[in-house]
Structure 1
Amino acid sequence: MQTRITEMLGIRYPIIQGGMQWVGRAELASAVSNAGGLGILTALTQPTPEDLYKEILRCQEMTDQPFGVNLTILPTINPVPYEEYVEAAIRGGVKVVETAGRSPEPFMPMFKANGVRVIHKCTSVRHAVKAEKVGCDAVSVDGFECAGHPGEDDVTNMILLPAAKAKLSIPMIASGGIGDAQGMVAAFALGAEGINMGTRFVATREAPVHDRVKQAMVDADERQTALIFRTLNNTARVFRNAIAEQVLEIEGKDGDTDFADLQPLVAGVRGREKVLEGGDTDDGIWTAGMVIGLIHDIPSCEELLQRMVTEAKEIIAERLLTSFAE
């Protein structure tokens, strides 16, 4: 499975693990890379740039394959030393960085000077075009189906991917709603040269989250996500649980939503401690994409990637080529 993405990143399969807060740690990133994909460490999961550097070194002890770092650039109440996180990634020898949120343009000279490939995550065609313009090496295009922040345009990948492909010359990675071989083949047909999976990798044996969270994803169907923060123009797709329902109830009241009313419910620390670490799937917010409806087991990363690659080849050879044969 050779594409411009596999050649650029030095990986066997065009499958990338999404950068996920609290989840993108060395255990998962190294497992994905060892399986032939590209694992991703989430920079801001680490409390300081020095902690990120140490996590990079820890990941290097667990794999000799390429892995990357995700850096999500967002406006925050307390300033984040983004440049220091960039420096930590470079000092650790990381050669692939996935950026998200605001434009990575201020950091591009530093990335380019150190031979770092930059993949920018986008939720619209216009942002993908801008990413190419500022020098990004590839874009990861996130459809409305995705977990986390899908943007405010509400465009699904069936439309978004070919629309973006038509205006790009750099490689495009499909992200959002992909969790099996069928989704991967469809993404390639729509113009992608790689796929990015977040939610699907949470339901693997190596993911550093509680087993009850993984089982909840297996038990759920495609309807069990919720869109919160819509009234704040900061939409997020999360697992539909008791806390998500409370947030939706508050947002559904007349008048402007005051984030102060939501903050105790959606605090990131609560989601990490109560849900991801504690296993209480109803006592905090945790992001999940609509792809949970396609998750039926909890394999190892190696098993998942091998299955997807094998089945993708079968789909192309047996279903697609046969269907269009003369």
Structure 2
Amino acid sequence: MPIVTPLTKLLNIRVPVVQGGMQWVGVPKLVAAVSNAGGLGVITALTQPNPAALRNAIKETRSLTSKPFGVNITLLPSINPPDYAGYARAAVEEGVKIFETAGNSPGELIRYFKSNGCIVIHKCTTIRHAKSAVKLGVDVLSIDGFECAGHPGEEDIGGLVLLARAAQELKVPYLASGGIADARGFAASLALGAAGVNMGTRFMCTVESPIHENIKQTIVKSSEQDTVHIFRTLHNTARVFKNKVSLEVIKIERRPGGAKFEDIRDLVSGQRGKLVYENGDPDYGIWSAGIAVGLINDIPTCEELLRTLEKGVEDVIGNLNAVVVKSKL
């Protein structure tokens, strides 16, 4: 039986699984594979060097799938901000109807998308930010727990509590995001009131993922203890893979008097992170990974992964019948 939720109905997808927007990873080949497998693939806009390149990525994705897919635009702290409006306009003009937004002050982007009849999924790490996004008119919230890769916010609230709070407070559908890589996490998310799940790290480790095979094997061999937080002292916390570079960043941040971004700029360069995925050296730069690495032990196709998740969720929910106390009346 298919898993039917408000998310599958809204997005017209078979499985309530969204591939998270990931820098250097959310490219047409992976996006199309996720959508063809029944989930929602998501192009990461800022992986593309400019809005024109995003147009080409959308066209390429459309040539690979007839299924729905989305575009992620993440608002990042930056001295020289990207052309967010240009990326948004390019995607809307190319006919994209589903967007994932994240980061601070998304109001202008959300209003633009909604004025063009688009569906907006907004990622939040706190309930108060989720409520603010609802006021802006978002259709779906992605509730990002402390377990996630990338930026978990500064309040360190794990998904178990955060999702239960979302069930108490929110009136729009929400996704569970962070720490989900198998059917148990998927089923638990549904039990906590989520309409689906957002997975990033799990999709990094698939056949269609564009990252180097050696990085995929590194993920398979890793445990839940193989990630760390950087930028904590800069109040821009990010969860990344534990390697020589991230440990050096933490060492600099902990020295007496703290650190400024300029002290670690070269170590955390996005271009170095990109080369990790291209060259396969896990110690070359900073790269995002959630603690879900501890749950990943294979490299399936996206089709195999989603079929396994579907079957697994059905089994988990079915097995719960054994723990239900039935009346003897």
Which residue in 2 is equivalent to 1:320?
A: 320
Matches within 5 A, 1:210-229: 210-229=212-231
* SS of residue paired to 2:72: strand
Q: Give distance in 2, aligned partners of 1:181 and 1:133.
A: 32
Matches within 5 A, 1:185-200: 185-200=187-202
- Displaced runs of 4 or more, over 6 A: none
The equivalent position to 1:256 in structure 2, one of 258, 262, 266, is 258
Structure 1 residues 325 and 314: CA distance shift in structure 2, 3 A: farther
Matches within 5 A, 1:157-306: 157-273=159-275, 275-306=276-307
Provide Cα deviations, 1:218-245, integer angstroms capped at 9, x if missing partner.
Answer: 0000000001110101100000011111
Q: Give distance in 1, aligned partners of 2:314 and 2:287.
A: 33
Unaligned ranges ≥5, structure 1:
none
1:261 Cα deviation after fit: 1.5
Q: Give distance in 1, aligned partners of 2:126 and 2:288.
A: 20
Provide Cα deviations, 1:155-203, integer angstroms capped at 9, x if missing partner.
Answer: 0001001112211111010000000000000011111011000000000
Q: Give distance in 2, aligned partners of 1:109 and 1:237.
A: 30
Q: Which amino acid aligns with 1:322?
A: A
The percent of aligned pairs where both chains have the same amino acid is 52
Provide Cα deviations, 1:68-99, integer angstroms capped at 9, x if missing partner.
Answer: 00000123211321111111110111110000
1:109 Cα deviation after fit: 3.3
* SS of residue paired to 1:23: coil
Q: Which amino acid aligns with 1:314?
A: D
* SS of residue paired to 1:266: coil
The alignment of Structure 1 onto Structure 2 pairs a total of residues equal to: 324
* SS of residue paired to 1:264: coil
1:325 Cα deviation after fit: 4.8
Which residue in 1 is equivalent to 2:136?
A: 134
RMSD, aligned α-carbons: 0.9
Q: Give distance in 1, aligned partners of 2:262 and 2:105.
A: 28
- Taking structure 2 as the reference length, what is the TM-score of the superposition? 0.97
Which residue in 1 is equivalent to 2:89?
A: 87
Provide Cα deviations, 1:26-60, integer angstroms capped at 9, x if missing partner.
Answer: 01000000000000000000010011011000000
Q: Give distance in 2, aligned partners of 1:256 and 1:109.
A: 39
Mean alpha-carbon deviation: is it higher for 106-115 or for 202-211?
106-115
Q: Give distance in 2, aligned partners of 1:288 and 1:196.
A: 14
